[in-house]
């Protein structure tokens, strides 16, 4: 762990896979959805369907334009992924949509707080460090998560892409909370798990990017290194000696 650094005037936080475990159950949710719809088929068939969907969804989400469109309506994106994955294998739309719908419901049901996340929010707030939330995604879905886990109390600013009309890595997504708080970019941190949206985008906007790098993936050598790297949000207070 690096030494204690100068206290920021504002800390912006990502939501999914930073505070909430949004993807930890994703693979299990796909398998459970497939089993629920194709329960009468053998295991090899279900595994084949899982492989088709996995290949297609990885292709889908790697493109920034598809990513932006998909996160605005996750159910529609998941239906589109399943239809594209399974149509050539002979599955009708009613089956692919049923798998997508089941997965969508399971993913929402199984979202949880990440270990130590709530305690970290409380520690930062108790230390008097202003916090802002900056999350991509649809207005209703992201607002429901914030409400469900009672997160509003920790943040002086909540910026949801679908509500604000702007999302990461657009500079305005980071600068709007800065203006609201009266803070300059160099005095603010952006903390999150996604290197492209939470670190590189923020640093290009003048903020200090704190990367929550859970699996040790090295950043691209061509980009400026993150200001700090931790393995979980619960490690962020220690950067400030808290």
Report the distance separating Cα 68 and Cα 167, nearest Å.
9
Q: What is the pLDDT along the chain (242 residues), one digit of tens a residue?
A: 456 678 999 999 999 999 999 999 999 999 999 999 998 889 999 999 999 999 999 999 999 999 999 999 999 999 999 999 999 999 999 999 999 999 999 999 999 999 999 999 999 999 999 999 999 999 999 999 999 999 999 999 999 999 999 999 999 999 999 999 999 999 999 999 999 999 999 999 999 999 999 998 888 888 889 999 999 999 999 999 99
Q: What are phi and psi of 130, to 5 degrees?
A: -60, 140
β partners of residue 160: 135
pLDDT at 205: 98
Nearest of 156, 173, 233, 236 to residue 207 by alpha carbon: 173
Taking a C-beta distance cutoff of 8 angstroms, is the pair 95, 121 a contact? no
Element (H or E) spanning 181, and its range? helix 171-181
Q: In what order do the strands lie in the sheet with 228-230?
A: 157-160, 131-135, 10-13, 188-192, 208-212, 228-230
pLDDT at 83: 98
pLDDT at 1: 45
pLDDT at 4: 64
């Amino acid at each position: 762990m690096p030494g204690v650094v100068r206290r920021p005037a504002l800390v912006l936080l990502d939501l999914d896979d930073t505070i909430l475990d949004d993807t930890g159950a994703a693979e299990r949710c796909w398998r459970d959805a497939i089993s629920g719809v194709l329960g009468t088929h053998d295991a090899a068939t279900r595994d084949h369907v899982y492989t088709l969907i996995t290949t297609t969804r990885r292709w889908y989400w790697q493109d920034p334009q598809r990513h932006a469109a998909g996160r605005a309506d996750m159910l529609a994106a998941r239906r589109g992924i399943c239809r594209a994955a399974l149509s050539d294998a002979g599955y009708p739309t009613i089956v692919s949509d049923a798998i997508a719908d089941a997965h969508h419901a399971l993913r929402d049901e199984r979202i949880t707080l990440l270990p130590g996340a709530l305690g970290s929010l409380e520690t930062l707030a108790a230390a008097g460090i202003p916090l802002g939330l900056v999350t991509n995604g649809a207005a209703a879905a992201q607002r429901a998560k914030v409400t469900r886990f009672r997160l509003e109390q920790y943040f002086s600013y909540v910026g949801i892409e679908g509500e604000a009309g702007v999302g990461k890595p657009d500079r305005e997504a980071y600068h709007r909370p800065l203006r609201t708080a009266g803070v300059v970019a160099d005095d603010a941190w952006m903390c999150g798990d996604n290197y492209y949206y939470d670190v590189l985008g923020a640093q290009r906007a003048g903020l200090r990017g704190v990367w929550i790098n859970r699996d040790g993936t090295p950043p691209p050598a061509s980009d400026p290194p993150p200001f700090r790297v931790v393995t979980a949000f619960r490690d962020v207070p220690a950067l400030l000696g808290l």
